[in-house]
Amino acid sequence: MTQPIAKRFPTPAIDTLPPDIRERLLAVQEKSGFVPNVFLTLAYRPDEFRAFFAYHDALMDKEGGLTKAEREMIVVATSSANQCHYCVIAHGAILRIRAKNPQISDQIAVNYRKADITSRQKAMLDFAMKVATEAHKISEADFIQMAGHGFSDDDIWDIAAIAAFFALSNRIANVTGMRPNDEFYMMGRVPK
Amino acid sequence: MTQPIAKRFPTPAIDTLPPDIRERLLAVQEKSGFVPNVFLTLAYRPDEFRAFFAYHDALMDKEGGLTKAEREMIVVATSSANQCHYCVIAHGAILRIRAKNPQISDQIAVNYRKADITSRQKAMLDFAMKVATEAHKISEADFIQMAGHGFSDDDIWDIAAIAAFFALSNRIANVTGMRPNDEFYMMGRVPK
Amino acid sequence: MTQPIAKRFPTPAIDTLPPDIRERLLAVQEKSGFVPNVFLTLAYRPDEFRAFFAYHDALMDKEGGLTKAEREMIVVATSSANQCHYCVIAHGAILRIRAKNPQISDQIAVNYRKADITSRQKAMLDFAMKVATEAHKISEADFIQMAGHGFSDDDIWDIAAIAAFFALSNRIANVTGMRPNDEFYMMGRVPK
Amino acid sequence: MTQPIAKRFPTPAIDTLPPDIRERLLAVQEKSGFVPNVFLTLAYRPDEFRAFFAYHDALMDKEGGLTKAEREMIVVATSSANQCHYCVIAHGAILRIRAKNPQISDQIAVNYRKADITSRQKAMLDFAMKVATEAHKISEADFIQMAGHGFSDDDIWDIAAIAAFFALSNRIANVTGMRPNDEFYMMGRVPK
Amino acid sequence: MTQPIAKRFPTPAIDTLPPDIRERLLAVQEKSGFVPNVFLTLAYRPDEFRAFFAYHDALMDKEGGLTKAEREMIVVATSSANQCHYCVIAHGAILRIRAKNPQISDQIAVNYRKADITSRQKAMLDFAMKVATEAHKISEADFIQMAGHGFSDDDIWDIAAIAAFFALSNRIANVTGMRPNDEFYMMGRVPK
Amino acid sequence: MTQPIAKRFPTPAIDTLPPDIRERLLAVQEKSGFVPNVFLTLAYRPDEFRAFFAYHDALMDKEGGLTKAEREMIVVATSSANQCHYCVIAHGAILRIRAKNPQISDQIAVNYRKADITSRQKAMLDFAMKVATEAHKISEADFIQMAGHGFSDDDIWDIAAIAAFFALSNRIANVTGMRPNDEFYMMGRVPK
C-alpha cells in the first residue's frame, strides 16, 4: 500500500498495540484478508478505539427489526450527506455484499430518494437523514409516520442510533483524513 | 420529579439493570446528589450505555492540552448549534462549575463568537463548530491555523473527537426527547 | 461593572443626555434597580432611542390576545435564532419572571420545539420563527393554520410585529456588541 | 386603484385617523401626488405607525457620511434578499430618483455584486447584507475592513441601523401582504 | 453604448463571425432594433452559440400547453433566484411584452409567491423553482400535484426544461459578467 | 434490461426516430456496445436532443487546456452536488476510463476536496463547484485566483460552461428519473 492510511495522524505499528487491540486487528485481517484503515487510524487512541468498536458492534451486529443490509443503507446515505470518503466507500462495499446487489450503494450514495429500494426503506432513510441533518426537528409526528411504515419504537431507536454513530464516525474520518483501503472499491461488485 | 426523564422511550427501573450499570448510576448519584437523565435514558440499551460512557470518559476525563472547562465549552457550543436541550443545559451547568464562571455557558450557548473567552478559545470553538457542521471541509489549512494558536495535533484530535462525540450525543438526546434534570438549571450560578 | 456596556460604540454620560431620555433611564433604574444596557447603548443616538422604545412599548406593553409571557417567548425564540446575547439573556430574565417559570427561557432558547409549552404556544413560535427567518414565504395558509389555533388576525399582527421588531433589535445589538447586564443572568431563577 | 393596499389587514378610512397621522398622510400626498401604501397599512396601528416613521426619518433623513442614494441602495439590496415587494419596488423608485440613474435599482435588486457602483459602495452593501443575513457573525474585523474603505464608526452604525430597520419593515410588509403603489413602478425611469 | 457587453470576455467584431451567426445577429437586430448582448457574448464561441440558441428556440418558441408569457415567468423567477442580471432584466422585458403587463416582471423577480398571477401559475413557478434549486428532490408526488393543477406530463417537461436551460444560461451570464442592454430596462413598461 | 430507461417519460422506439437521431444512437451503440439512456430519454424530444448533444460535444470533445479526464472530473463533482444518478454513475465510468484510475470517480463523487488529485485540479473543482452552486458570487477575484493556478481565461470559460451545461443536464435527469445503464457501474473498474 503506497498511500497513507490516514493523511493526518500517525498509525502505530501493530506490534506496539495493547494486546486486545492487536487481537481485534488480527481477527479482522483473518476474516477480511486486510485490516480496514479505520482500525489502524483509531488504534492511535486505544481507549477511543475500544469505545468506538463496542458502540459499532452494539448497533450493527445486534438482532432487531432491521436487516444488516438496511443498517448499511443508513450508513451509506448519511455518510454521503456528510461527504465522508472512508464511510461511503468502505460501507458501500459492505452494503453491496449484505444486499447482494452491486448497484445499491452507488445509487444510495448519489441520491437515496431515487434508489431501487422499497418505500419502507425510503421512509427509513428519510428519517435517518433527518437525524443526520436536523435532529432538533424530530417530533412525535415522525414517530407516527414511521409506525405507519411498520417500524417499532425499537427500530426507530436503532435507525437513529446508527445515524448518530456515523455522525461521529464521519467527523473523525474527515478530520483524520482516513482513507478507504483499496480493497473496498471493488468488493461486492462482481458475483463470486 | 413529575416530568418524564425522556419523552419517548421507557426508563428501566434501577434494580432491574445489569450490575455494572447500576453501580455506575449509584456512583454518579452519590457524587452529584441525583442521577442525570442521560444515564437513565441510555440504560434502556445496556451495550450502548457502556460504549457511550466509555467514549465519554476517554474524551472528557483524560489528561491533555485542553482544560476541563475548555472541553465543556466545546460541548456547549456545538450542542447549541444542534439545538440539544439536554446537552446545553446539563453541560452548561458543568461548564459553569469547571470555569467557576456563572455567565460563560449562557454566553457560549447564544453566540460563542461574542463570549468572554480568549482568542485561543475562540479559535478552538471555530474549529469545533466546523467539525460539528461541515467536517468535510476540514483541510490542512485548518491544522496550520490551529497550530498558530498553539494547539498540538493531539489537541486537535481531542477537540474534533469531542465535537464528534456530541454530534452523536445530541442526536440521541433529540430523538429520545431526553430532558435535563431540574438540578442542572441552577448549578454553578451562585458561589458556594 | 468592569465590563463595557457595548463593545463597539461609546456610551454617553447620563447627565449629558436630553431630559426625556435621562428621565426614562432614571425611571427604569428606579423600577429595576439598574439601567439595562440597551438604554445606555441606544442613548448614543437620541432620535433612534425614542423611536426604538416607542415601538417596543407599543408592542410589548399593550393589551391583546397574547399574554406578556407569550410575547417574551417570541422574543427569546427569535433572538436565539439570531444569536443575540443581549436579547436572549435580558428577555430570558423577563420571560422567567412573567411566566413564573425558572426553566422556560433556557428551554425556548435552546429548542422551542421541545420546550414545556402548550401546542398553541408552539404554533405561535413556529409562526414567529417563520417571520424571523423566511417571512417571504408567509401566505394565506399560515393565517388559516393560526386561526385553527385560535389566533385572531390582530394576534397574528402582534406576533409578526414582535418578531419583526426583534429582527431589528437583534441586529443592532449584534453590531454594537451590546452586553447583557450581569443582573439578568440570575433574575427569575429563584423564587422570591 | 382596483388592487387592495395590503392583502391581509383592513385599511382605515383617512378621516377616521388620529389627526397627527392624517396630517402626515396629507403631507406625503401633497408632496408625492399619492399616499404610499406603507402609510395606509400601518395606520391600522397608530402607535406603531408613529414609532415606525419616527425611526425611518431618524435614519433616512439625517445628515451623515452616506448620501441619500447610498441609504436607498442599502434598502434595495437588503429588501431584495428578504424578497419584499413593497420595499424593493417603492425604494427602487426612490433610489432611481436620488441617484438620477434609471438602471441602478434593478441592478442592485438582482445582484448588487455586479451593479455599476463604486467599490466603496460594494463594501457598504457587503456589510449591510451581512447585517441583514448573519449579524451574529459581525466582528471587529468587519469594522476594520469598513474603516479601510473610509467609513467612520458612525457611518457603520448608520448602515447597520438601516439594514436592521428594513429587516423589520420587510417582515411587516411580507406578513401584511403590502402592495407597492402602481406609481412606483415607473418613477425615475424616464428623465423629467 | 459606453458599457462593455460582458465584463470578462472579448466580443468578436460582427463581420468576423461565421455567416450563420452573423445572419442570426442581423435578423434579431432587424426585429428588435438592437442586438441583445447574449448573442454577442456567446458569439465568442460559435459552436456553443449554435447549440445554445437551438436549445433556447426548441423550448421557448414551440407550441404547447404553456403560453409564451408563462414560459417567460419561469425564466424570470428562476433567474432571480440565481441572481442573474442579464436574464432577469432582459427576460423581464420580454415577459412584460408577452403578458402585456408592465408590473408582472418586477413582482415575479422580487417574490413570485406574492405576484398577481393565477394559482395555477403559482404552482407552475413552485415546481420550476424546485427544479432550479433542488431538482434531486423531485418525485412522483410533484407530478401528481402538478396534474391536479391541469398540467400534462408534457407541460411538466417543458417547465422543467426551461428551468434547467436557464440554470445553464444564468451561470454563463454570471461568469462572463454579461450585461443587459440599456434597451431592456424600459421595454414593455409604457403602452405603445 | 428489466428496468425502465427513465422512470417518468416514455422512450420512443428507435425505428420511429428521425434519421439523424437514429444514426447517432446506432453510432454510439456501435462504439460503446449499448445505448446510454440519456440518448433514449432525450429522443422523446428530437429538437432538444439535437441541441443537447451539440452543446455536449462542443464542450466535451473540443481541444483546449483541460484534459478530457479533467472535464469529466468537473461533471462528476458538480453532478454529485446536484445528486444526479445518471450523471454521477455514467460520467464516473467515463472518468475512470479517461483517467485510467479506478478509484478517482468514487473519491470525487463523495468529497472532491479529499480526492487524490493535484492542487491545480482541486482549484479547478473549487471554481466549478462555485459555478454550480453560487455563480452569482463569481467575481474578478476568482479569475485572478484561477490564473495563479495557470488557467487561461479560455480554460475558465470551459470549466464554467461544463459546470453550467451539467446544471442543465442534472436537472433534466432528475426530473425524468433517468437511470444509468447497468453497464456503467463496472466500466473502468478493472484493467483491460
Query: CB contact, 8 Å: F141 with chain D?
Result: no
Q: How confident is the model at residue C103 (pLDDT cuts 50, 70, 90)?
A: very high
| Span between the terminal Cα atoms of chain E, in Å | 24
Q: Which tens digit of pLDDT belongs to each residue from B23-82? A: 999 999 999 999 999 999 999 999 999 999 999 999 999 888 999 999 999 999 999 999
Confidence of residue A4 (pLDDT cuts 50, 70, 90): confident
Side chain identity at F141, as an amino acid letter? A
Give mean pLDDT, residues C167-181. Answer: 97
| Predicted pLDDT of residue D5 | 82
Predicted confidence band of residue E7 (pLDDT cuts 50, 70, 90):
confident
- Give the span between the Cα atoms of A138 and A159, in whole angstroms: 13
Q: Is the pTM of this model over 0.90?
A: yes
DSSP secondary structure letter of residue A181: P
Q: Which residues pair with B130 in a beta bridge?
A: none
Using pLDDT thresholds of 50, 70 and 90, give the confidence band for residue F4.
confident
Residue C13, Cβ density class (10 Å: 0-12 exposed, 13-18 middle, ≥19 buried) = exposed
D186 neighbourhood in chain E, CB within 8 Å:
102, 189-190
pLDDT band at B1 (very low <50, low <70, confident <90, very high): very low
CA distance linking residue E16 with residue F92, whole number of Å? 39
Q: Contact A133/A81 with Cβ under 8 angstroms?
A: yes
Nearest CA in chain F to A4: F116
Report whether pLDDT(D1) > 50: no
Cβ contact, residue pair D110, E111, below 8 Å: no
**Per-residue cell: F147:** 490564473
Q: Is the pLDDT of residue A67 over 90?
A: yes
Report pLDDT for F3. Answer: 67
Looking at residue D3, its pLDDT comes to 67
Contacting D residues, span 13-72, partner chain C, CB-CB under 8 Å: 45, 47-48, 50-52, 54-55, 57-59, 62
Q: How far is CA F179 from CA E171, F45, F85, in A?
A: 26, 17, 7
Q: Answer for the pair A111, F84: CB distance below 8 angstroms, yes or no.
A: yes
What sections of chain D are H helices per DSSP?
19-32, 37-42, 46-60, 68-81, 85-99, 104-111, 119-134, 140-148, 153-176
Shortest CA gap D79–chain E (Å)? 9
Residue B4 has what pLDDT? 78
Chain A: list its partners (3+ Cβ pairs within 8 Å).
B, C, E, F
Residue in the structure block whose three cell numbers are 503506497? A2
| Tens digit of each residue's pLDDT (9 = 90 or more) over F6-17 | 888 999 998 999
The pLDDT tens digits for A136-166 are 999 999 999 999 999 999 999 999 999 999 9
Mean of all residue pLDDT scores within chain E: 96
F171 shares contact with chain A (CB less than 8 Å):
no
> For residues C21, C23, C29 and C34, what is the CA-based torsion angle, rounded to 10 degrees?
30
* Residue tagged 459606453 (cell numbers): E2
Average pLDDT over residues C42-59: 98
pLDDT band at A6 (very low <50, low <70, confident <90, very high): confident
Minimum distance, in Å, between the CA of residue B111 and any CA atom of chain C: 5
Q: CB under 8 Å to E172, separation ≥6 — which residues?
A: E41, E42, E178, F160, F161, F164
Q: Which residue of A has its CA nearest to C113?
A: A137
Residue D63: count of CB within 10 angstroms of its CB: 5
Q: Are C170 and C87 in contact (CB under 8 A)?
A: yes
Contacts of D168 in chain C (CB under 8 A): 164-165, 167-168
Whether the CB of F163 is below 8 Å from some CB of chain E: the reply is yes
Distance from CA of E24 to the nearest CA of A (A): 41
B39 contact partners, CB below 8 Å, separation of at least 6? B24, B25, B28, B49
* Segment D166-175, tens digit of pLDDT: 999 999 999 9
- What does the alpha-carbon distance between residue F117 and residue C63 come to, in Å, rounded to a whole number? 65
Candidates C96, C57, C51, C56; CA nearest to C73 is: C96
pLDDT at C53 over 60: yes
Cell numbers at D165, concatenated: 430597520
List Cβ neighbours of F129 (8 Å cut-off, separation of 6 or more). Answer: F77, F78, F81, F112, F163
B7 touches chain F (CB under 8 A): no
Answer for the pair B183, B34: CB distance below 8 angstroms, yes or no: yes
**Chain C residues within an 8 Å CB radius of D50:** 54
Q: What is the per-residue pLDDT across A7-65, written as a single tens digit (0 to 9) for each?
A: 889 999 989 999 999 999 999 999 999 999 999 999 999 999 999 999 999 999 988 89
Residue A178 is given by DSSP the state: B
The answer to whether F43 and F49 have CB atoms below 8 angstroms apart is yes
Chain C with chain E: Cβ pairs closer than 8 A: 5
Grid cell, residue F173, equals: 435527469
What are E125-157's pLDDT values in tens digits? 999 999 999 999 999 999 999 999 999 999 999
Query: What residue has cell string 463470486?
Result: A192
Measured between alpha carbons, how far is C185 from B103 in angstroms, rounded to an integer? Answer: 7
**What is the DSSP secondary-structure string of B3-18?**
S-SBSSS----GGGS-
Among the listed residues F179, F167, F139, the one whose alpha carbon sits nearest the alpha carbon of residue F79? F167
Read off the C-alpha cell for C9: 460604540
pLDDT at E71 over 60: yes
Q: Check: CB of residue D171 under 8 Å from CB of residue C164.
A: yes
Distance from CA of C110 to the nearest CA of E (A): 29
D-to-F residue pairs, Cβ atoms closer than 8 angstroms: 5
CB contact under 8 A, F110 and A116: no
